[in-house]
Amino acid sequence: MAKIAKFQDPIFQDEAKAREALEAVLWPDGPICRHCGNSDQDRLTKLQGKSHRPGLYYCNECTGHFTVTVGTVFERSKVPLTKWWMAAHMINSGKNGVSAHEIHRTIAVSYKTAWFMMHRLREAMADLAPTPMGGKGKSIQADETYYGNSSKRAKGYRKGHSHKAGIVALVEPKGRARVFHVKSATAKVVRNILVTNARRTSELHTDESKLYTEVGREYAAHKTVEHGWNQRGYYVGKDGQTTNAVENFFGNFKRSMKGTYRFCGEQHLQRYLNEFEFRHNNRSGLGVTDGERTALAMKGIEGKRLTYRPTN
Ligand SMILES: [Zn+2]
């Protein structure tokens, strides 16, 4: 019911309000010409009155007309912005995501449209400019897991890990996560992920897997814990190190995938990982509200589509 109550917000009801909210997110310093990138507010005019469609601007630099959605996926999708805001809100409320089927029923778009919107939102949630993780005095937990349809009745079922997709995750305890779909988690693959994402001044915490032995020597320290989870709870190494944070991330991902999405094909796995990584890195525990997380996702949709050339 919380979701329904939230839909009382004008951005979910009124297209003009939804557009203004998108403008506020995408253009915090005022409109930017969609055609030439001009952002000089003295050279941009808002066109008002009945003869113009709402939200239309005129650019004195290139004499072009534009709105906030011109040239974006919002324009091409023909889905009202109110519904984009609803979908972005739904995927960003709670930890588990939301299925395309639920979007389809709740916001009244076709299933195909709901599926398209969800994938676009997942792409929007990808961090395209990641900053290095960890650092001096900080620890990074690294671990790998396998994901796939393990039902014995599934087509092409084979025992073992070979038929499943590999996932490698780096997690800062109480901080950010970064997650990668890999063909196979080899020592070379995990090293490449570690050294390009986590500062070597960090302390590396992993299980006793041999995958991390060599790369561990490149880090300030490498501390291990006995493998995985047992019925008494987590293992804790003699210096207090654990891999709880990364195991919790995998646990939540797998439970939610099973509960919300049932199964996703390997070709889409990275998108789903982006979604879980995004919610983790913008969670309420780090001071991000549902509304801010939703706005960030909406912002990302456009951010992935910016193609205009910079001015001067
Ligand atoms: Zn222009």
- DSSP per-residue letters across 40-99: -GGGEEE--STTS-TT-EEETTT--EE-TTTTSHHHHH---HHHHHHHHHHHTSSSS---
Statement to judge: residues 100 and 176 lie in one domain: no
Statement to judge: residues 164 and 79 lie in one domain: no
- How many domains does the chain contain in total? 2
Statement to judge: residues 188 and 89 lie in one domain: no
Residue 5, pLDDT score: 58
Tokens 């979908």, located at residue: 87
CATH code, domain carrying 149: 3.30.420.10
Ligand 1 centroid–CA 301 distance in Å is: 21
Statement to judge: residues 17 and 108 lie in one domain: yes
Statement to judge: residues 151 and 109 lie in one domain: no
Residue 6 covered by a domain:
yes
**Tokens coding 131:** 């900053």
Residue 40 covered by a domain:
no
Ligand 1 centroid–CA 55 distance in Å is: 15
Tokens 């969800």, located at residue: 118
Percentages helix, strand, coil for the chain (3-state, rounded to 5) are 40, 15, 45
What domain range includes position 257? 139-263
Statement to judge: residues 7 and 97 lie in one domain: yes
Residue 257 covered by a domain:
yes
Ligand 1 centroid–CA 66 distance in Å is: 8
Phi, psi of 34 (to 5 degrees): -70, -20
- Phi/psi-derived region of residue 277, left when phi > 0, alpha when psi is between -120 and 50, beta in every other case: alpha
Statement to judge: residues 170 and 247 lie in one domain: yes
Ligand 1 centroid–CA 15 distance in Å is: 25
Ligand 1 centroid–CA 1 distance in Å is: 44
pLDDT along the chain (312 residues), means of 10: 68 96 95 95 93 93 95 90 96 90 95 94 89 96 85 54 84 96 95 97 95 97 76 70 90 89 83 95 94 93 51 33
Statement to judge: residues 97 and 204 lie in one domain: no
Statement to judge: residues 102 and 192 lie in one domain: no
CB within 8 Å of 206: residues ≥ 6 apart: 141, 142, 143, 212, 216, 222, 224, 225, 243
Ligand 1 centroid–CA 58 distance in Å is: 8
Residue 117 covered by a domain:
yes
CB neighbour burial string for 253-276, b if at least 16 within 10 angstroms, e if fewer: beebbeebbeebeeeebbbbbbbb
Distance of CA 35 to the CA centre of its chain: 28
Q: pTM here?
A: 0.87
Statement to judge: residues 80 and 151 lie in one domain: no
Statement to judge: residues 11 and 91 lie in one domain: yes
Residue 232, pLDDT score: 54
Statement to judge: residues 163 and 217 lie in one domain: yes
Distance of CA 201 to the CA centre of its chain: 27
Residue 173 covered by a domain:
yes
Say how far apart CA 271 and CA 263 lie, in whole Å: 13
Ligand 1 centroid–CA 216 distance in Å is: 52
Ligand 1 centroid–CA 52 distance in Å is: 18
